[in-house]
Amino acid sequence: MSCAICEVRKEKRFCPAVHGRICPQCCGEQREVTLDCPSDCPYLLQSREHEKPRSSEQFDAESLFLQVEISDQFTYEREHLLMGLSYALAEAARLDRSINDLDLIAALSAMCTSYERLVNSGLHYQQPLTSATQHGIAAHVEEMAKAYREAEQKEMGRSDLRDSDMLKALVFLLRLGHARTSGRPRSRAFIDFLFAQFPEKESSVLTPQEASSRIIVP
């Protein structure tokens, strides 16, 4: 039997993306490129185990917002905020299973640009988002930020979350996304990483307000 993709080489493994058997070469070349590989595919999981982490040297300074400094102290003090925004990204991806890593990264990048402009110039100008998918992702993130502020206000009588804190948190997640994704067009490695942090059975019963409260008050 020949490969279901190239129809030349001999098939040697079952591909759940095409519901047929394909050759190892097509599997390696088309994985997360033309194929929507399910997260539990053993060949996808095996490939992730052997992939080297992407380093910052692979990106330009603009894409990683290297001008924004994020200290260890910030990540420690704002750990709950980072968790809350990560939760929002995971929930956006759960509600729309067509979302891939590049969608999350594009939405985060646009939000970083908007917040950087706000912090540096005070201008409330939203960087245009190119798709309804990215709008949905950004809406989830902003909803969580609002819930986080409300939870801070309830617990402490005030909210200390500044726009500069949001900028740093978004840049942190953007860099994390770049590091976790494979970079292939249909990669969901970053999304699967987020799902692992917030299992569906646990997160599905939480509203944004409940999630932010848990995040602020362990």
Model confidence, pTM: 0.86
Residue of 143, 167, 144, 166 whose CA lies nearest to 216 = 144
131-162 confidence digits (pLDDT tens):
899 999 999 999 999 999 988 888 888 888 99
Domain ranges (residues) in the chain: 1-50, 58-216
Q: How far apart are CA 102 and CA 37, in angstroms?
A: 15
Q: How far apart are CA 113 and CA 126, in angstroms?
A: 8
How many other β-carbons are positioned within 10 Å of the β-carbon of residue 164? 15
Q: How far apart are CA 155 and CA 169, in angstroms?
A: 21
Q: How far apart are CA 43 and CA 45, in angstroms?
A: 5
**Could you tell me the pLDDT band of residue 206, with boundaries at 50, 70 and 90?**
low
Evaluate if residue 216 carries a pLDDT over 60.
no
Evaluate if residue 99 carries a pLDDT over 60.
yes
15-73 confidence digits (pLDDT tens):
999 999 999 999 999 999 999 999 999 999 999 988 877 766 667 777 899 999 999 99
- pLDDT at 155 (0 to 100): 81
Tell me, what DSSP letter sits at residue 10?
B
Asked if 187 and 32 touch (Cβ cutoff 8 Å), the reply is yes
- In the chain, % of residues over pLDDT 90: 68
